Each structure stands twice: as C-alpha cells, then as structure tokens.
Structure 1
Amino acid sequence: MRIHLPPAASISWSYFLDVDGTLIDIADTPDAACIDASLLDLIARLYRASGGAVALVSGRALSDLENRLGALRLPLAGQHGLERRDAAGRLWIHAAPPAAKHAIKQALAPALARHPGLLLEDKGLTLALHYRQAPHLAAYARRSMVRLANDANAGLEVQFGKRVAEVKPSGIDKGTAISEYLAESPFRGRRPVFIGDDLNDEHGFAEVNRLDGISIKVGHGSSCARYRLPDVTAARQWLDNALQEVT
C-alpha cells in the first residue's frame, strides 16, 4: 500500500484526535488501554501551543476519557459524538431510548453466557459488543447487533469498528461532533485536522474532506482519508513536529 504522508503540521490548525488505535495501541479489552505520561504531555503541549484548538473525539465514554486524562482538561467528544464537552465546559448529550437499550441488553444475555469470549460494554449511551477475544464470532456478533437494533425500532443504528459492533442513536457521529466544534471558538476559522484509524472515524474524515481539511488514517485498510500514517508512533511524532514551530 502506498502511503501518502500528510503535510507538515501547523499550530494554526484545529486538531481533532481519536484515541484508541490512533494515539495509543488497541488493547485486548477497553479497560486495559493506557494513556501514558508522554502522550498526556504531548496533548497538553499541543493544546497550549494551538491556543486550545485541540479536542479528543473518541468512541469511549466521556467519563472514561476524563478519568484517563487525569488533571488534563480539554474539549472532549465521547461515544462517537453522542456526548460532547465544548471549550467553555458546556455538555451536550444525545441519549439513546433507555427502554430499547435495556431490551437489547436482556436479549444479549444468553449469548454472553454461552460465549465467554464476547464482551458487552455499556458506555451509557451506547452498547458495544466486542469480539476481539473471539474473532470467529465476528459474523454472529455483527448480525445479532444489526437485528437487535432493527427490532428495537427506536432510531438506532450499528457502528462497526475493529472487532466491535456498537448500537447507537443514528444521525450523530464523529463528523457531526467535529462540525459542531468548528462553529465554536477556538476552532472556528482554522483548518481542521482529524486523525483516526477505524471504520467509525470515516464520518470524521468525510466531514474534514468536505471542508478541505487534513484527514489522516493511521494504519492499513480502505478509507476516504486523504493521508496516511503507518502507526501510533508515527501519528504522535507528526503531532510533536507541529510544536517545533514554537520551540
């Protein structure tokens, strides 16, 4: 695969960053992932140098991100844009119907008992069925989640990712989160950058492409992103290079 490297990064841009698979390697389970001290330092330096125009846009719950960031505070979008904290600290939430979510959890209980390799993660607004530890169940997991989302008849859709199928409210995604940020200070008027690695990042890539921004996919696989970086290390180094302007 030919890699089209992105142009040199600039602190004058707005940065929207996925986390798992982009800034840190994907772990066997969501809880096993670790945001290391060097990454926290990189994000903090980029945030300061860019005048606050940095947001993490993740599939993780916002509370999960906040716990892992420790004292570092910056704009965050969690659960694929369903919850978003803006630069002013305001919280925006798009909730799934609780009855539909409860019904899906109940329907999945027998499958989870039968297949211990499956892991159901309740993020609060979404339900993510992970099959990383049971990859042979990929088709079964995907098919089950699509059926349950359709049966709920509650405006839900399934977002696929790396060995995960996630039921979420439709119409809200990482692209809509980025669009909302770009209408606000300090992101407004800057060229947007979005870096991601997974299928659930394609909405973000598409939105940034529409705005003539810089869309970067980390790793392999088909994508509408205009640029590529080979791995997490390269993504972090590219961001660090932007800070050379101010050193």
Structure 2
Amino acid sequence: MSADPNRLPPPPLPQAGWALFFDVDGTLLDFAHTPEGVHVPGDLVDDLQRLHEALDGALALVSGRRIEDLDALFAPLQLPAIGLHGLQRRGPPGAGHAPPHELATVLAAARDLVAKYPGALVEDKGITIALHWRNAPVAEEPLHEFANSALIDLPGYGLQLGRDVIELRPDGHDKGDAIAALLDTGSFHGRLPVFIGDDFTDEHGFDEVNARHGISVLVGARAGSAATHALHDPAAVRAWLREAAFALAGEAAVT
C-alpha cells in the first residue's frame, strides 16, 4: 500500500551505523531548465564531505546522471556513486555496457524531433538517451510516441519514465539493484540503508531499503510512493544533511 506523502513523518537524524544514499536532481539539487544549469551550493559539497567522513565512507550518490558528470558537479569530491539509474557504479564507468550502433541513428532522429519543439531537450548519456519536455509540455506526447517506436530498433532496451522525461536505456538494471550491490561491499556492509529520492525512478531504491528494514525518504509530495518518510523539497534535504553532518562530526570528535 502506498503512503500519503502529506502525512509521512520527516526522517530522524542519521546515526553512526547508517548507510546514506542520495538521489541528486530534485533531491540534493533544485531542478534547472537544463541538466547543465543546476547550481551546487558550495556548503553542500563541504557538508557531503563531512558526512562521508563521519560515516566512514558509507555515503553514495544515486543518480540518472553519468558518474563523470557527478564528479564534475561535486568536485573535488569523488563519492561512491551509482550512475545512469544503476548502469554505472563507481569503478570502470559503464563496465559491461556498450551502446549498440543503432543508438546513434535514434539519437539523430531524436534531435530532429525536439528541434520542432522549442524548450524540449535530448540528453545524450552515452549508453542511454533521455528526452526532456519540462520546458515544452506540448512535446510530451510526441516524445513518448518517438521513444516507443525507437524500441523496435534497439533490442534489449526499454523505457524509463521520470518527471517530465522519458529515457531509452538497457533493460535489467535499476537503482535498487545497485544499492543492494553497494550494501554488500566495504564500508556499506552491515549498515542500516537510508535512501532519499524524489522521482518515479527512485521507487526501486525505496523498495530495496524497505525490504532491508531501512528508511526511505520521498522529497516532495508525489502520490503513490513506497517511501516511509518525507522531506518537503531539496532545501529541506540540504538542511537535514547539514544538521546531520555537524551532529555526526561532533560525535566522532568526542569519541
């Protein structure tokens, strides 16, 4: 049964035995008109570093962006990371996945289509293609139709729907699978998993941490989520993260 996002409690402050997983766009960062236009507050980088150290490294970014782009956004940090909704994990980026040659043809056709709808956007992620209509709502139906028809030329690919975006991507991987894999490694192992996200694509992650009796946190008031807790917006997430970073860093200094 899905919870009413308007009635979900805020999450408690993190404990030393937690493993934290953060979505990025719409969670840590406010949305912008284009993916390249997002703003990363300088104090957010400092707070992530502080919290990463306080948790002995058990903090990861979980994003639809490429890991290379996450590193550029949060430089000089290079946090444990899951990119492209689970297709990339920190290590060899995109290991085991090479784009089919048909993807270049689909990409060119997608660019021709969005050119007809000012504000629509094609995002080339190397092995996936994201079609955005946040700034061109009239393009939503044509982009959906295009994405569905493109699957004919892309065996092994499927569609992933997000907030004002649809993505063509290889089947068989999601954020939940990637979180599960990280929880079996290194400093993440044996910790209580906590995942904070806002989008439909984060539901796989919520399901995974819920199955492990962890804490799932929805950002915003989207209905139909499996999340057990909620924060109002990215500003609330950043405030929660900052309080947690200083609290845990203080505990570590005392011990």
Indicate conservation of the 8 Å contact 2:50/2:249, yes or no. no
* Worse-superposed segment, 35-44 or 133-142: 133-142
**Deviation, structure 1 residue 154:** 1.3
Residue 50 to residue 62, structure 1, CA distance change in 2 (3 Å): same
Give the paired residue count.
243
> What is the distance in 1 between the residues matched to 2:154 and 2:82?
26
- For residues 54-113 of structure 1, the C-alpha deviation after alignment (integer angstroms, 9 at most, x for no partner) is 11011111111111121112211111111110xxx5556242542231231133243123
Query: In the TM superposition, what are the counterparts of 1:163-242 in structure 2 within 5 Å?
Result: 163-222=164-223, 223-242=225-244
Counterpart AA for 2:216:
S
Counterpart AA for 2:150:
L
Provide the aligned C-alpha RMSD in A.
1.6
Q: Give the equivalent residue in structure 2 for 1:68.
A: 73
Q: Give the equivalent residue in structure 1 for 2:41.
A: 36
- For residues 212-235 of structure 1, the C-alpha deviation after alignment (integer angstroms, 9 at most, x for no partner) is 111001001121111111111211
> What is the distance in 2 between the residues matched to 1:123 and 1:173?
16
* Worse-superposed segment, 20-29 or 133-142: 133-142
Residue 96 to residue 146, structure 1, CA distance change in 2 (3 Å): farther
**Deviation, structure 1 residue 204:** 0.8
* Worse-superposed segment, 67-76 or 18-27: 67-76
The ranges of structure 1 where at least 4 consecutive aligned residues each deviate by more than 6 angstroms after the TM superposition are none
TM-score for both structures, normalised by structure 1: 0.92
> What is the distance in 2 between the residues matched to 1:41 and 1:16?
17
Q: Give the equivalent residue in structure 1 for 2:160.
A: 159
**Deviation, structure 1 residue 152:** 2.2
Q: Give the equivalent residue in structure 1 for 2:57.
A: 52
Q: Give the equivalent residue in structure 2 for 1:246.
A: 249
What residue ranges of structure 1 are gaps of 5+ in the alignment?
none
What residue ranges of structure 2 are gaps of 5+ in the alignment?
1-5, 251-255
- For residues 145-191 of structure 1, the C-alpha deviation after alignment (integer angstroms, 9 at most, x for no partner) is 12212x12411111111111111111111111101101101101001
Q: Give the equivalent residue in structure 2 for 1:16.
A: 21
> What is the distance in 1 between the residues matched to 2:174 and 2:98?
13
> What is the distance in 2 between the residues matched to 1:236 and 1:153?
39
TM-score for both structures, normalised by structure 2: 0.90
> What is the distance in 2 between the residues matched to 1:152 and 1:36?
41
Indicate conservation of the 8 Å contact 1:195/1:216, yes or no. yes
**Deviation, structure 1 residue 37:** 0.6
**Deviation, structure 1 residue 26:** 0.6
Aligned-residue sequence identity (percent) comes to 43
> What is the distance in 1 between the residues matched to 2:167 and 2:222?
20
Q: Give the equivalent residue in structure 1 for 2:148.
A: 146
> What is the distance in 1 between the residues matched to 2:172 and 2:158?
9
Residue 35 to residue 188, structure 1, CA distance change in 2 (3 Å): same
Indicate conservation of the 8 Å contact 1:19/1:57, yes or no. yes
Counterpart AA for 2:134:
R
> What is the distance in 1 between the residues matched to 2:199 and 2:96?
22
Is 1:3 the counterpart of 2:8? The answer is: yes
